[in-house]
């Protein structure tokens, strides 16, 4: 009987130790995995925001469709100034500016160009794709095409895209119309396969933080279609 009691006590102690360990490690593991996933998601959102800003410069509004934004990155043309040569301190002291130097070079007067030491000075504008202008130094074209998809969101092999929403705000005093955009993803989309209780706790915590806000969003997002916020990300 004593042996049986001892066995039961050992099992109970082991079970208690396991439960205590899990109660500590489960939230730690959840937070670590969440941080890893959100780092990749935030980078995609930053890249999308960069592309959206360029889209608005050329079109006057933000892009409301993920596929259209990818096409814009691949095919949309933006001006890029190709620079050769720089002005020396002595040239600057003598009153030469970039604009004056460019004007002299454009005239094509070889003597004047030589007198001002501008033989190697060039400023040419070329039109390149948005990808070449903004992303080619960091990403392959295949990688940049994937920025509209949410990392760690594969559902049975299918990628999930970020939600794209656009709107406009009209100032009643000036009648000025301001285009608005928001792009984001909810927690359930990229954390739904992790510990369910920890996800519930996270959403509950975030809901309480946002009690005073009109627009409650449980996830990662930049921009807003309710107010102009300079396309700020809610992680910033």
pLDDT in tens, 2-48: 666 665 555 556 556 545 655 566 789 999 999 999 999 999 999 99
Specify whether the CB–CB gap between 76 and 54 falls below 8 A. Answer: yes
Q: Is the pTM of this model over 0.95?
A: no
Q: Is 68 helix (H, G, I), strand (E, B) or coil?
A: helix
For residue 8, the model assigns a pLDDT of 57
Instruction: Return the pLDDT at 22.
Output: 55
pLDDT mean across residues, the chain: 86
Query: What per-residue confidence (pLDDT) applies to 112?
Result: 86
Where do we find the tokens 């006057």?
Answer: 60
pLDDT for 57 equals 94
CA distance 187 to 57: 31
Helix (H, G, I), strand (E, B) or coil at 99: helix
**Residue 182 pLDDT greater than 80, yes or no:** yes
Cβ proximity of 146 and 157 under 8 Å? no
pLDDT of residue 14: 58
Give the per-residue pLDDT at 5. Answer: 65
Question: Which run of H or E residues covers position 185?
Answer: strand 177-186
Select the more confidently predicted residue: 197 or 121: 197
Q: Indicate the burial class of 153 (C-beta count within 10 angstroms; 0-12, 13-18, 19 or more).
A: buried
The one-character DSSP state at 215 is: S
Angle at 35 between CA 138 and CA 135, to 5 degrees: 15
- Cα separation, 204 vs 217, in Å, equals 12
DSSP state of 155: B
pLDDT at 18: 47
Three-state DSSP at 178 gives strand
Q: What average pLDDT does this structure show over 179-192?
A: 95
CA distance 227 to 178: 10
Exposure b/e, 51-80, CB count within 10 A at least 16 = b: bbebbbeeeeebbeebeebbebbeebeeee
Place of tokens 């990229």: 190
């Amino acid at each position: 009987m004593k042996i049986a009691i001892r066995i039961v006590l050992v099992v109970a102690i082991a079970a208690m130790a396991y439960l205590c360990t899990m109660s500590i490690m489960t939230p730690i593991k959840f937070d670590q995995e969440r941080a890893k996933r959100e780092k990749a998601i935030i980078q995609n959102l930053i890249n999308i925001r960069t592309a959206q800003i360029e889209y608005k410069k050329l079109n006057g509004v933000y892009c409301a469709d993920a596929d259209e934004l990818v096409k814009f990155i691949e095919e949309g043309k933006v001006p890029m100034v190709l620079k050769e040569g720089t002005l020396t301190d002595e040239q600057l002291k003598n009153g030469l500016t970039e604009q004056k130097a460019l004007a002299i070079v454009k005239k094509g007067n070889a003597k004047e160009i030589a007198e001002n030491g501008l033989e190697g000075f060039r400023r040419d504008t070329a039109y390149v794709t948005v990808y070449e202008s903004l992303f080619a130094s960091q990403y392959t074209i295949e990688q940049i095409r994937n920025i509209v998809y949410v990392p760690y969101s594969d559902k049975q092999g299918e990628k999930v895209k970020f939600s794209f929403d656009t709107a406009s705000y009209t100032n009643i005093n000036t009648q000025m119309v301001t285009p608005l955009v928001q792009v984001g993803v909810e927690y359930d989309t990229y954390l739904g396969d992790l510990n369910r209780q920890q996800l519930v706790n996270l959403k509950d915590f975030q809901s309480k933080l946002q009690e005073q806000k009109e627009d409650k969003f449980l996830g990662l997002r930049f921009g807003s279609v309710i107010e102009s916020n300079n396309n700020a990300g809610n992680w910033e």
